[in-house]
A = this chain, B = another copy of it.
Amino acid sequence: MTMPPTSVPSGRRIRVGVLGATGAVGQTFIRQLNEHPWFEVTAVAASERSAGKPYAEAARWLEGALPPGVARLTVVECDPSHVDADVVFSALDSSVAGEVEAAFARAGRLVLSNAKNYRMESDVPLVIPEVNAPHLALLETQRKRRGWSGGIVTNANCAATVAAVALAPLHEAFGVKQVFVTTMQAISGAGYPGVPSLDILGNVIPYIGDEEPKIERELNKMLGRVSRHGIDPAPFVVSAHANRVATENGHLVCLSVACQRPVSAEEALHVLHAWRGCAEARGLPSSPDLPLAVSEEPDRPQTRRDVHAGRGMTVTVGRVRKDPLFDVKLVALGHNTVRGAAGGSILNAEVLVSTGVIASR
């Protein structure tokens, strides 16, 4: 693919909306879309309570400067008839995402969703483009089966995303058979106001509601293969321990991996170093230089020091070493609200633009 990242293929910026625009994830979408070469935020939608207000007033802006173009937009309700945009990024809570996202898909909009509701549906792509861009082909099946002119594309749980990028090269090369994963997740993963400071200052909370099941099932779908029937999940078993720690951004995961055949740390390092991910994901506005960076320092990756690699889009792995029980142990770190949420959705949308599924008017 040789498309230049600095202009939309067709020459005009694509109008996008953000659903759930006033919350923490919605704000991250707006920050990541600011000055995007292909997309222009033309609609911000939120709950009834916020509708009718200027965005600057409806949102308690959390970080950095609020882009002035968005500040002036009037918040509308999450209804396709009020949202003037061809593509919508959904930062909706799962309690409402189910119905709202379907309504938009039915109304011909392409929905790029962070919500968990449709992730495991057999006709809905769950995509990290470098890992499984071909899964986007499911969109066609989805449209046919559901009679939608639009559609839903999801991205994964933030911790599952970090693990998936680290596991993809190993699975491609050796076939992963068993995975232990322990996460140490940042507070920003819980949104705002999210985790009370009294709960996390000087503390570890070894529990994040519904996180472990998501990690345990989403990895299989993402690393699965497109078949006639949809996605054949990758046939490995995952055991996850999810923990919340006092870091701002960045989910760090410890992994122990068993493969179909004995694999040494050196072999693992080799494939991790060499991996570049699916070609469809390269050269896009949000593509990092490397989707996966390998550190060979003894004590890296570290959350605060490595979270901004590739402007938050690079997953860093390190400490690749022999595992006494499985084949290899390693540590991976990724930015949960960028690679693991808004940035991931936007990269999905960019792939859809570059492959012509999304066209500018």
Binding site for B on A (CB under 8 A): 24, 62-63, 178, 180, 182, 184, 187-188, 192-207, 216, 237-239, 241, 243, 245-248, 252, 254, 256, 298-305, 318-319, 323-326, 329, 331
Contacts and interface: CB of A to CB of B under 8 A. Distances in A.
Contact of A303 (B62, B198, B202, B247): B202
Contacts of A301: 206
A254 to B, nearest CB: 4
B204 A299 contact: no
B201 A248 contact: yes
Contacts of A331: 206, 241
Identical subunits present:
4
Contact of A206 (B203, B246, B302, B326): B302
Contact of A180 (B180, B205, B300): B180
Contact of A196 (B197, B207, B245, B302): B197
A190 B247 CA distance: 20
A235 B301 CA distance: 33
A124 B248 CA distance: 43
A202 B302 contact: no
B239 A204 contact: no
Contacts of A256: 180, 239, 241
A305 B254 contact: no
A306 to B, nearest CB: 10
Contacts of A326: 239
Given A180-B256, A305-B63, A245 B248 contact: no
Contacts of A180: 180, 239, 256, 325
Nearest to A239: B325
B188 A204 contact: no
A63 B260 CA distance: 38
Contacts of A178: 325
A196 B198 contact: no
Contact of A197 (B194, B216, B303): B194
Given A180-B180, A201-B187, A325 B196 contact: no
